[in-house]
Amino acid sequence: MRFGVLGTGRVGQTLATKLVELGHEVMMGSRSRDNENAVAWAASAGDAGSNGTFADAAAFGEVLVNAVSGDGTLPALEAATADAIAGKVLIDVANPLDFSRGMPPSLTVSNEDSLAEQIQRAFPATKVVKTLNTVSAPVMVAPEIVPGEHVLFVSGDAADAKNIVVELLQSFGWPAGSIIDLGDITTARGPEMFLSLWVRLMLKQGTPIFNIGVQTG
């Protein structure tokens, strides 16, 4: 399958590399065609990897990944263009974090709204699926590095899109039973607000390699 990965940071690089390892073709998108990270990644990825602008990557991908900073997300998707992302699954892994006042960051949207909902409202013809934002980049593609049973959340309005994403997550190594479909796109609020706790846990434990489990009684 062809993927457009929007974002050149740790997450974009990690997901793009895993997708190529799994046999997919990936174009990494950025604000500029000569972004150093993206050019270096494409050079290391072989024939299945390439890079371009956000618009190039959006046009290339059958499935898209939003791995852009929270504040850059809507501008990046506008640059990708509504037409190019219409009808496509957009896997949104971004967190609406504001680091302008240092650590810990605050959330730029919460409670009765979320970044995922802002994306879905701005691009109604795109099938937004929120997932993976509650774990660090290494855990996203190698859940086995965290011992024990732990979970991942999926939120989105389109059932067919969530099925595609759940299948992809399983190919990353997430057991079917560890993936919790929370419901429609409004359910992305919880996983995004979880970042307030995630950051505190990371600071307390001194590592981003952890995750949470859900036990029922």
Ligand X SMILES: NC(=O)c1ccc[n+]([C@@H]2O[C@H](COP(=O)([O-])OP(=O)(O)OC[C@H]3O[C@@H](n4cnc5c(N)ncnc54)[C@H](OP(=O)(O)O)[C@@H]3O)[C@@H](O)[C@H]2O)c1
Q: Is 173 in the site for ligand X (CB under 6 A)?
A: no
Q: Is 133 in the site for ligand X (CB under 6 A)?
A: yes
Report whether 122 contacts 77 (CB < 8 A).
yes
Residues 12-71 that bind ligand X (CB under 6 A): 12, 30-31, 35, 67-71
**Residue type at 56?**
D
Q: Is 137 in the site for ligand X (CB under 6 A)?
A: yes
Please say which residue, 72 or 190, places its beta carbon nearer to ligand X. 72
Report whether 66 contacts 93 (CB < 8 A).
yes
Candidate ranges 3-11, 16-24, 41-49, 160-168; the one touching ligand X (CB under 6 A): 3-11
Q: How many helices (H) and strands (E) does the chain have?
A: 9, 10
Q: How far is the CB of 1 from ligand X (least distance, A)?
A: 21
Number of residues that bind ligand X (CB under 6 A): 24
Please say which residue, 158 or 199, places its beta carbon nearer to ligand X. 199
Residues 71-90 that bind ligand X (CB under 6 A): 71-72, 75-76
Tokens matching residue 31:
């604000």
Q: How many residues does the chain have?
A: 217
Beta-carbon contacts of 107 under 8 Å, excluding residues fewer than 6 positions away, are 96, 97, 98, 192, 193, 195, 196
Tokens matching residue 100:
């302008």
Beta bridge partners of 114: none
| Sign, CA torsion 29/110/186/183 | positive
Q: How far is the CB of 175 from ligand X (least distance, A)?
A: 20
* Residue ranges that bind ligand X, judged by CB under 6 A: 7-12, 30-31, 35, 67-72, 75-76, 93-95, 97, 133, 136-137
